Structure 1
């Protein structure tokens, strides 16, 4: 599986990884020492819990698409805003607006360290 060479590639690489439905492939897009919010108000950290959250998302039937609304980079960190969905046979299974914090790795690739999948929803209260 291709790794993201720039922060602007992260969303496309993440969607392709999720579409493999392989938890290990998806986990390679993340820094598993980070955090993920697989649903509003639910923060997950720790490698085992992180993998379980990814497994649940991979279980949603359909194809994931991610549109990058913006990606802002400063040195070895970047923040992205996304609009994503999983669609199966023309029916949207889940869709949201997310915010992702990415960090460049020692090998030059980029990984997500914070994935707030619903972080840009208008009705979300922090």
Structure 2
């Protein structure tokens, strides 16, 4: 399984993982003890709920693409801003602007600990 060696690689590794539709490959990009927002204003944490949230995202047909808007690193933590979409047969199924908090792991790889997939949307209030 490919892991991100730098925080700047996390978005590309995440998109490639989602495109496999393989839960183990996707979960390798995340710290499952973290937080994910599979929908606007829907915070999910805890291993079983996290896995269910990832499964629901995988159920969306199509190919995920993630553009890194920026990635700022300080030591073993980084914050990224993304623009992402899932497109199927030329039709956008879902698209949003996200914010991701990443942490370097003991093995040197980087994982997402908070994935606020809709966190940079202009109309979203926390």
Pick the TM interval, shorter chain. over 0.9
Q: CA RMSD in A?
A: 0.4
Greater alpha carbon shift after TM alignment, 75-84 vs 18-27: 18-27
Query: Where does residue 56 of structure 2 map in the other structure?
Result: 56
1:76 aligns with 2:72: no
Shift of the alpha carbon at 1:21?
Answer: 0.5
Cα distance in structure 2, aligned partners of 1:14 and 1:33: 17
**Alpha-carbon shift at residue 24 of structure 1 (Å):** 1.3
Q: Work out the number of aligned pairs and report it.
A: 126
Aligned position for 1:111: 111
How many angstroms does 1:23 deviate by?
1.2
Find the aligned partners of 1:88 and 1:61 in 2 and give their Cα distance. 6
1:78-126 superposed Cα distances (whole Å, 9 cap, x missing partner): 0000000000000000000000000000000000000000000000011
Q: Which runs of 5+ in 2 are unaligned?
A: none
Q: Does 1:4 align with 2:23?
A: no
Correspondences of 1:22-101 after superposition (within 5 Å): 22-101=22-101
Cα offsets for 1:44-81 (capped at 9, x unmatched): 00011000000000110000000000000000000000
Mapped partners of 2:62, 2:39: distance in 1: 18
Spell out structure 1 runs of 4+ moving beyond 6 A: none
